[in-house]
Chain A
Amino acid sequence: MIATRHRLRTLLPLIAGSVGLFILIPASRPGADETQKRGDTNTEPAARLVVQLGTYQGKSEELLDPDAKAWDKAATTRIILNRTPRVYQTEPIHPPAPPALEVRGLRTEGKVMLRLRWNDATRNAPEAPPPKPAEEEDPSKLYKRPTRETDAFADALAIMVPDDWSPQQVPSLVMGDRKTPARLYHWNASRGADQLIAKGRATQVSSGKSFPFHDRHADGYWTLTVDIGEAPAACPIAFAVWNGHDKDRDGLKFFSIWYNLQEH
């Protein structure tokens, strides 16, 4: 295989005579083989990606405080984030570097509490006026709540778990599938927390429920604590991060593959 690749590398530019192809064929790839020998964490099989979950004796609300002492003792998992692929040619070829997302987990009262911290130089939380309830709609009222920004997007993070999980099941990473719907805990710096249910890409619907959270942006970091309820032991979990500054939203995001919760 390697020999073939070498031969191709020398022959193709000669045949095609194209500058474009020179760029497409990597000049040398010794790094890939060496990495596998070293057993670098980036190439570990997915099954070994775990989020450590400690235990806490106390009320879950106490853990919504990101400075709670219990968090200092909890093990930190560094989540490997990937950028979604480009869709249009107009998108930048070099995507921004993924943020370093650190997750600490504690289980208390049966519930899973997570403390997530990731770097984001700018706090992007365009403050949209809250939607008015339909019954207050008064067409004669002249005062209008205006749109202030048309091109601003909020920082956001989502945690995905299977909605109803039984061991050995691995739902689709693309927001679940018909057999195993995904439950999404979506936090948005502007609009707060929202729980969604999805059965595959672009099928998400809000379940109308919120979830307890606390967010803080300081010194170039977001710190978010969330209560994601009673997730079963060893349950798969995945993360996504949107940076509003780069106009991230929808599929323009950083995502992780499935991790598993691991109690210790």
Chain B
Amino acid sequence: MSKHQYAMVMDLNKCLGCQTCTMACKKQWTDHDGMEYMYWNNVETRPGHVRDAPFQYKEGEVPGGGYPRNWDKIGGGFDRNGQLTPSPLPSAEDYGKAWEYNYEDRLFKGSKKSVQPNDANLNWGPNWDEDQGKLNGSDNFYFYLPRICNHCTHPACVEACTTKAIYKREEDGIVLIDRDRCRGYRHCIQACPYKKIYYNEVLGKSQKCIFCYPRLEKGKVNACAAQCPGRLRFVGLLDDPESPVHKLVVKYRVALGLLPDRGTGPNVYYVPPFNPPRKANYGKSLLDDPRIPLGYLRYLFGPAVFDVLRRLEGELARAQNGDKSELLQLLIGRDDNVRYRIVDPETMHPFKNAPTHQLVQLGMIRREHA
């Protein structure tokens, strides 16, 4: 366990599935040889993968899909006895191979055919099940799930690595791969329950999300968070009482880790999604008549999700009655200094050498806001 822990909170009620975070990460980090299939940050649609008609949710059902395909079903993490349960390795097809398009014909050879993939029989891609929802009774439900490495408190990848190439940084809990030690055995990929480590065939080594540590060290927030138009990402040290992630996870307890039953202690937290109320349920509680089946939310975020939904609903009711809700103001996260607090983990103080125009963003100059 590290001395401090950087964490991210993502409010799933605000994600619009635009993939700007995915592209920000792609341009910043995975724009090199052997990395074209990697999305250290990806946004997938849940429940997704509903090609079998009728698209009706059945009680207790856990739909598949995602990136890589069925990542949450194939295994990984620890069992109840603390034993690693490695999964099979996802294939390149499971991740979704990069499609080739007919640009050459369309742009240079005068073809009138619209731009489209060369392969007419494509049946999977990294965002194949985009916007695919499911029916719960007569109401449709779906939501977006942005995912990065969870920089777990007990990382299964660290446990599985036989060459001691993966380590968790003592000062801020970021999990990194030592490129010199890694020999590309891929035990880590099998062990990770979130499948957030990727194999680079050109290098013969594995690679993963680095939580933008070089940016953090300069006082800048992660690229995926900086670019997010939905402003749904909150970043800070979990043990810094001033940080928004501390407030959301520890103080208000409205954000939960993904698949907590895998035993790794993920440090990316999610505010669970509501979706709009169902038809003709005026006056009913979210928990009495949910649009997103509660069983599905429980599968993703564990049994604590019921308490979280109840708490959020209480705050909403309070705001609707005209009272002030600190929590909702925080979740709205209008300004950068509300959403991010990037500090030096050793001193817990914002970086002193940060440029003046960033001081507000870094929380050094506090701006009064509603």
The answer to whether A and B interact is yes
Q: Which chain B residue shows the least CB distance to A137?
A: B32
Give every chain B residue within 8 A of A151 (Cβ-Cβ). Answer: 88-92, 186
- CB of B107, distance to nearest CB on chain A (Å): 15
A129 to B186, CA, bound (A): 18
Interface locus among B7-15, B34-42, B352-360: B34-42
- CB of B50, distance to nearest CB on chain A (Å): 26
* B163 engages A202 (CB within 8 Å): yes
Assuming the contacts A144-B35, A202-B163, asked whether A131 and B203 have C-beta atoms less than 8 A apart, the reply is yes
- Which secondary structure dominates where chain B touches chain A? loop
Interface residues of B in 48-90 (CB under 8 A from A): 75, 79, 83-90
Q: Which chain A residue shows the least CB distance to B164?
A: A202
The 8 Å CB contact of B35, one of A132, A147, A191, is A147
Interface size on B, residues (CB 8 A): 36
* A150 engages B95 (CB within 8 Å): yes
* B92 engages A90 (CB within 8 Å): no
Query: Does B194 count as interface, using CB distance less than 8 angstroms?
Result: no
Query: Does A212 count as interface, using CB distance less than 8 angstroms?
Result: no
Assuming the contacts A88-B84, A250-B185, asked whether A150 and B164 have C-beta atoms less than 8 A apart, the reply is no
- CB of A247, distance to nearest CB on chain B (Å): 7
Query: Does A126 count as interface, using CB distance less than 8 angstroms?
Result: yes
* B201 engages A150 (CB within 8 Å): yes
Interface size on A, residues (CB 8 A): 23
The 8 Å CB contact of A147, one of B84, B89, B164, B200, is B200
Query: Does B183 count as interface, using CB distance less than 8 angstroms?
Result: yes
Q: Which chain A residue shows the least CB distance to B160?
A: A88
* A88 engages B85 (CB within 8 Å): yes
* A129 engages B201 (CB within 8 Å): yes
- CB of B187, distance to nearest CB on chain A (Å): 7
* A144 engages B32 (CB within 8 Å): yes
Query: Does A249 count as interface, using CB distance less than 8 angstroms?
Result: yes
Query: Does B33 count as interface, using CB distance less than 8 angstroms?
Result: yes
Give every chain B residue within 8 A of A147 (Cβ-Cβ). Answer: 34-37, 92, 199-202
Query: Does B295 count as interface, using CB distance less than 8 angstroms?
Result: no
Query: Does A128 count as interface, using CB distance less than 8 angstroms?
Result: yes
Give every chain B residue within 8 A of A132 (Cβ-Cβ). Answer: 33, 202
The 8 Å CB contact of B91, one of A150, A191, A251, is A150
* B183 engages A250 (CB within 8 Å): yes
Q: Which chain A residue shows the least CB distance to B180?
A: A205
What are the 9 tightest A-B residue pairs by CB atom distance, in nearest-first order?
A151-B89, A147-B201, A250-B185, A145-B33, A147-B34, A150-B199, A151-B91, A128-B201, A146-B36
Q: Could you show 12 A-B contacts with beta carbons less than 8 Å apart? A: A128-B202, A128-B204, A139-B31, A144-B36, A149-B91, A150-B37, A150-B90, A150-B95, A150-B198, A202-B162, A250-B185, A250-B187
Q: Which residues of B contact A (CB under 8 A)?
A: 31-37, 75, 79, 83-92, 95, 98, 162-164, 183, 185-187, 189, 198-204
